[in-house]
Amino acid sequence: MSIYKDYLKQIDERKEQGLHPQPIDGAELLSKIIEQIKDLENEYREESLNFFIYNVLPGTTSAAVVKAKFLKEIILGESIVKEITTSSAFEQLSHMKGGPSVRVLLDLALGADAAIAKQAADVLKTQVFLYEADTTRLEEAFNKGNKIAIDIIKSYAKAEFFTKLPEIDEKIDVVTFIAGVGDISTDLLSPGGDAHSRSDRELHGQCLFEHNIAQQNELKAVQAQHPDKRVMLIAEKGTMGVGSSRMSGVNNVALWTGIKSSPYVPFINIAPVIAGTNGISPIFLTTVGVTGGIGLDLKNWVQQKDAEGNTIRDANGDPVLKEEYSVATGTVLTINTKEKKLYNGDTELKDISAAFTPQKMEFMKAGGSYAVVFGKKLQTFASKVLGIDVVPVYAPSKEISIEGQGLTAVEKIFNKNAVGTTPGKTLHAGSDVRVEVNIVGSQDTTGLMTSQELEMMAATVISPIVDGAYQSGCHTASVWDDKSKANIPRLMKFMNDFGLITGRDPKGKYFPMTDVIHKVLNDLTVGDWDIIIGGDSHTRMSKGVAFGADSGTVALALATGEASMPIPESVKVTFKGQMKSYMDFRDVVHATQSQMLKQFGGENVFQGRIIEVHIGTLTSDEAFTFTDWTAEMKAKASICISEDDTLIESLEIAKGRIQIMIDKGMDNAGQVLKGLVDKAENRIVELKTGIKPSLRPDANAKYHAEVVIDLDEIAEPMIADPDVNNDDVSKRYTHDNIRPLSYYGGTKKVDLGFVGSCMVHKGDMKILAQMLKNVEAQYGKVEFKAPLVVAPPTYNIVDELKAEGDWDVLVKYSGFEFDDNAPKGVARTGYENMLYLERPGCNLCMGNQEKAAPGDTVMATSTRLFQGRVVKDSGEKKGESLLSSTPVVVLSTILGRTPTMAEYEAAVDGIVLTKFKPSQKQLVR
């Protein structure tokens, strides 16, 4: 059967699923289609024409190479297709986003035919995705006096590719649609269990609202009633897009409610309108900007105050809210982009200036942030060639500099890494800054989308200014099923060819690693002044400052080595008192959130800001536990301030682990990993000699708020509870509900325990082994009354545990040990009351492969308590994912219930859970 017949067969199969033909990205299939177009008698000619024109992915796909070549033949008259005129061929090239299409346009523009050259130049003037090879060709032609090249470069210097675009509409009518009440996780928009289909946008679109067909039909009905309006998707009484950046979530919302990006590219929509009572999660809002969308902070429910300005609270101590205005489904509102106000008819509801900053409006005009980033670079190139200053076209970056005010840690990092700012000017929070990126991470369930984004922006190789980048295999580690076998090797090859270090070697020379990406990035980050961008909300490092990002922002960082964002405000967190011997550091993490909310009357001062944690004495593994959780605190990022000796210890650990990767054969031709080892060694010398001490804020830095955590107050383990039965729906599934162990009275049934995810480290595995020995000594045996799933974060940890004897202890008490020679091919559907030693990776935390049984109460070290993530609801009971420390999880599975304090203290007797003591040194400059 021919490749075309195979495609037709696939089309029939997709039709049964209610899907259109899958967009074409392969050269072989498109070559066959072109062959059928040229054959005027071919029975498939008409549909082949349709596929060629309207169903080919742009950018650097192999299909795009073939399409651009054929369009060039048509323009030059070498191939005659009566249905595709010269102007039509140029029109199609203009929508192909660079790479092969730009090469063809340059061939034509710099060719001998003056008429064709003029048409090609007109199209090139609209393009922004040009890379060094393209601009070098233009510059060489310019230097030779080529009039067309001169004309194009002059146009680029004026940024006509941007200035000639239509302005955004002054008034945008929207109709509201309540997607849910309370915080809305991106799982609702793009469930983790559907990660395998994210690169097939139409198929993935079927999972919106977690496949809730009734809710999807309700959305369709609202659209049908208001065909002339755009739908605004809303999180009522909550924040939209918590949990992750998830480009696929924004893509799904755009697919259902956005604007078609091109008539020649199917299922790629842009510019969705998204809102929340408490706005949009910071990393999700960045993703909205990638598509040129609008994200509104509605504040339609407001905390009530008494005459003295104090928050009025109900009987449960929760703030009393009043609805300032309604956004019930079907409400018609108007967004005035000129006045930057939200209206209901003639009634002004809300100032929405924050959603319409000059920079965000440029994203909307350009159809997304990429076009603005590349446009600025292209204008700078052209101005340099012409020997002129850059003409102010784009809104000037806001530069805030306050004389006499010191710098927070994040302000120092941004100032060091800033690009294109006013020379000699010190910038403070609120400034818009373009920064160079040191480390980039791509994970495997969004990586396929990142690879697509790279293809669509015509990028072929990683930016030389990036110190290192890593592609993980952790999110698909627990089950090596047919979907993984099809997707992951293809992803690893693409990323390896692009220049990333990959968990799997496409050539099979080193053993596949499924290590949790955040753990790997935490080791690869060897600079406390580094900026890290990663395709996951938990991209939070113990060194430098790391930002979780959508797949598109990751692609942009890989391609350009840069990222753009305002310098965030910071909240300073310090510690006092002393930890009790039986407490785990995870309890400090939860207590930080709990005490912060108490100190600020229930207001989350961490949301959207940097948490600058003066942790001082914790090495990178333990410190990472804190920064990792800051994603659930809704912080934009977190920075650890360390003593010099502590930082040196962390860098030595990182060096050793990077060297293990080198020894395994994971380094590439550019010796990226060796370069990181060298960088770590240089930093250690600087610290030891005092040439450059560890990063510290200035003593006179200004913070949005300061929080002091009293360790003496932490008297018992702390548990983040999803509170699934709260009468107020908006208070369910938030990470702000932190309860002490005694709340449960030692009676709450636990159906499954999970020790794993990025929140645990080697110390947790050792605690588990020691607890099992303690329990056996106390009771004479270890008997599990609930299953315990254990997934070490990395293979290094497993190797170290084996060398130290702890792995043998775990194996002794386990009923299952992972086997890399025969990994699970299907997800486990039931659990026995025993210990499962699973393959390193995300496992239950990701929720896309393994899950607890519906309706279970799960006690986990994980970070995700969102509805349906780790455990779905059953018909009889809501699933619960309670988050706690390793000792609490282990003991809960042995008892089959939450322990009492007496039982807990006995189980951890003699175990050093943490050595954390607040630093006694001055951690400011």
Report in angstroms the alpha-carbon separations of 104 from 82, 117, 118, 415, 777: 21, 11, 14, 40, 75
For 436, how many CA atoms within 13 A lie in the half-sphere containing its CB?
Answer: 16
- The whole-number pLDDT of residue 1 equals 60
**Identity (one letter) of the amino acid at 141?**
A
CA–CA gap between residue 768 and residue 234 (Å, rounded): 43
- The whole-number pLDDT of residue 230 equals 97
Whether 157 and 437 have beta carbons less than 8 Å apart is answered as no
CA–CA gap between residue 286 and residue 897 (Å, rounded): 41
pLDDT bracket for residue 848 (50, 70, 90): confident
- The whole-number pLDDT of residue 193 equals 80
- Range with the lowest mean pLDDT among 259-268, 404-413, 596-605, 625-634? 625-634
8-state DSSP, 430 = T
Q: In this predicted model, what pLDDT tens digit does every residue of 528-571 receive, in sequence order?
A: 999 999 988 788 999 999 998 888 889 999 999 999 889 999 99
Q: What percent of the chain has pLDDT over 70?
A: 100
Closest alpha carbon to 620 in 595, 655, 572, 667? 655
- The whole-number pLDDT of residue 305 equals 87
SS3 401: coil
CA–CA gap between residue 302 and residue 321 (Å, rounded): 5
CA–CA gap between residue 812 and residue 792 (Å, rounded): 16
pLDDT bracket for residue 243 (50, 70, 90): confident
CA–CA gap between residue 241 and residue 284 (Å, rounded): 6
Report in angstroms the alpha-carbon separations of 719 from 370, 749, 784: 41, 15, 21
DSSP annotation string for 765-799? HHHHHHHHHHHHHHHSS---SS-EEE--S-HHHHH
Closest alpha carbon to 70 in 43, 98, 33? 33
Whether 865 and 210 have beta carbons less than 8 Å apart is answered as no
Write the burial class of residue 145 (CB in 10 Å: 0-12 exposed, 13-18 middle, 19+ buried).
exposed
Whether 257 and 216 have beta carbons less than 8 Å apart is answered as no
Sort strands 752-755 and 857-860 into parallel, antiparallel or unpaired. Answer: parallel
Q: How many residues can be counted in the chain?
A: 925
pLDDT bracket for residue 439 (50, 70, 90): very high
CA–CA gap between residue 168 and residue 365 (Å, rounded): 6
pLDDT bracket for residue 274 (50, 70, 90): very high
Sheet holding 752-755, edge to edge: 738-740, 718-720, 880-883, 857-860, 752-755, 788-790, 835-837, 814-817
CA–CA gap between residue 524 and residue 469 (Å, rounded): 9
Q: In this predicted model, what pLDDT tens digit does every residue of 279-324 receive, in sequence order?
A: 998 878 988 998 999 999 999 998 888 888 888 888 777 788 899 9
Q: In this predicted model, what pLDDT tens digit does every residue of 321-368 receive, in sequence order?
A: 899 999 999 999 999 999 999 999 999 999 999 999 999 999 999 999
Report in angstroms the alpha-carbon separations of 21 from 12, 50, 252, 263: 8, 11, 18, 15
Which helix (H) or strand (E) segment holds residue 364: the answer is helix 358-366
Write the burial class of residue 2 (CB in 10 Å: 0-12 exposed, 13-18 middle, 19+ buried).
exposed
CA–CA gap between residue 143 and residue 455 (Å, rounded): 30
Please write down the HEC assignment for all residues of 608-626. CCEEEEEEECCCHHHHHHH
The arithmetic mean of pLDDT across residues 204-223, rounded, is: 96
The arithmetic mean of pLDDT across residues 584-610, rounded, is: 94
SS3 882: strand
- Range with the lowest mean pLDDT among 189-198, 351-360, 370-379, 867-876? 189-198
Those residues with Cβ within 8 angstroms of residue 3's Cβ, 6 or more apart along the chain or in another chain = 28, 29, 32
Phi-psi region of 306 (alpha: psi -120 to 50; beta: other; left: phi over 0): beta
Of 527-531, 618-622, 758-762, highest mean pLDDT = 527-531
H-type alpha helices, 59-110: 62-75, 86-94, 100-109
pLDDT bracket for residue 921 (50, 70, 90): confident
Q: In this predicted model, what pLDDT tens digit does every residue of 77-127 receive, in sequence order?
A: 999 999 999 999 999 999 998 889 999 999 999 999 999 999 999 999 999
Q: In this predicted model, what pLDDT tens digit does every residue of 728-747 receive, in sequence order?
A: 888 898 999 999 999 999 99
- The whole-number pLDDT of residue 747 equals 97
Q: Which two tokens stand for residue 234?
A: 């809303």
Q: Is the pLDDT of residue 246 over 90?
A: no
Whether 380 and 149 have beta carbons less than 8 Å apart is answered as no
Whether 95 and 58 have beta carbons less than 8 Å apart is answered as yes
Q: Which two tokens stand for residue 334?
A: 């108007």
Whether 281 and 243 have beta carbons less than 8 Å apart is answered as yes
CA–CA gap between residue 560 and residue 374 (Å, rounded): 9
Estimate the crossing angle of helix 447-456 against helix 551-560, to 10 degrees.
50
**Identity (one letter) of the amino acid at 240?**
M
Phi, psi of 628 (to 5 degrees): -60, -45
pLDDT bracket for residue 672 (50, 70, 90): very high
DSSP annotation string for 200-231? SHHHHHTTHHHH-HHHHHHHHHHHHH-TTSEE
Those residues with Cβ within 8 angstroms of residue 463's Cβ, 6 or more apart along the chain or in another chain = 557, 558, 559, 560, 561, 562
**Identity (one letter) of the amino acid at 443?**
Q
CA–CA gap between residue 726 and residue 22 (Å, rounded): 44
- The whole-number pLDDT of residue 847 equals 80
Q: Is the pLDDT of residue 200 over 80?
A: yes
In angstroms, the first-to-last Cα distance of the chain is: 72
Longest dimension (CA), the chain: 91
The arithmetic mean of pLDDT across residues 367-392, rounded, is: 94
DSSP annotation string for 694-721? PP---TTB--SEEEEEEGGG--S-EEE-
Report in angstroms the alpha-carbon separations of 641 from 482, 541, 714, 752: 44, 12, 22, 36
DSSP annotation string for 505-526? -TT--S------HHHHHHHH--
Which helix (H) or strand (E) segment holds residue 571: the answer is strand 570-576
The arithmetic mean of pLDDT across residues 162-171, rounded, is: 97
Closest alpha carbon to 134 in 498, 443, 377? 377
Q: Which two tokens stand for residue 137?
A: 């060709």
Write the burial class of residue 920 (CB in 10 Å: 0-12 exposed, 13-18 middle, 19+ buried).
exposed
Q: Is the pLDDT of residue 197 over 90?
A: no
- The whole-number pLDDT of residue 891 equals 96
Q: Which two tokens stand for residue 404?
A: 């006499």
CB neighbours (10 Å) of residue 819?
9
CA–CA gap between residue 752 and residue 75 (Å, rounded): 65
The residues with which 610 forms a beta bridge, in sequence order, are 570, 637
CA–CA gap between residue 257 and residue 274 (Å, rounded): 10
SS3 546: strand
CA–CA gap between residue 793 and residue 520 (Å, rounded): 9
CA–CA gap between residue 893 and residue 813 (Å, rounded): 13
pLDDT bracket for residue 908 (50, 70, 90): very high
- The whole-number pLDDT of residue 90 equals 98
Q: Which two tokens stand for residue 421?
A: 């700012």
Q: Is the pLDDT of residue 413 over 90?
A: yes
Q: In the block, which residue shows the tokens 């496949």?
A: 211
Closest alpha carbon to 798 in 906, 706, 603, 660? 660
CA 851 remoteness from chain centre = 22
Those residues with Cβ within 8 angstroms of residue 191's Cβ, 6 or more apart along the chain or in another chain = 207, 210, 211, 847, 848, 868
Q: In the block, which residue shows the tokens 């900026």?
A: 531
Average pLDDT, the chain: 93
pLDDT bracket for residue 203 (50, 70, 90): very high
CB neighbours (10 Å) of residue 371?
22
Single pTM value for the model: 0.86
- The whole-number pLDDT of residue 281 equals 87
- The whole-number pLDDT of residue 901 equals 96
The arithmetic mean of pLDDT across residues 882-887, rounded, is: 96
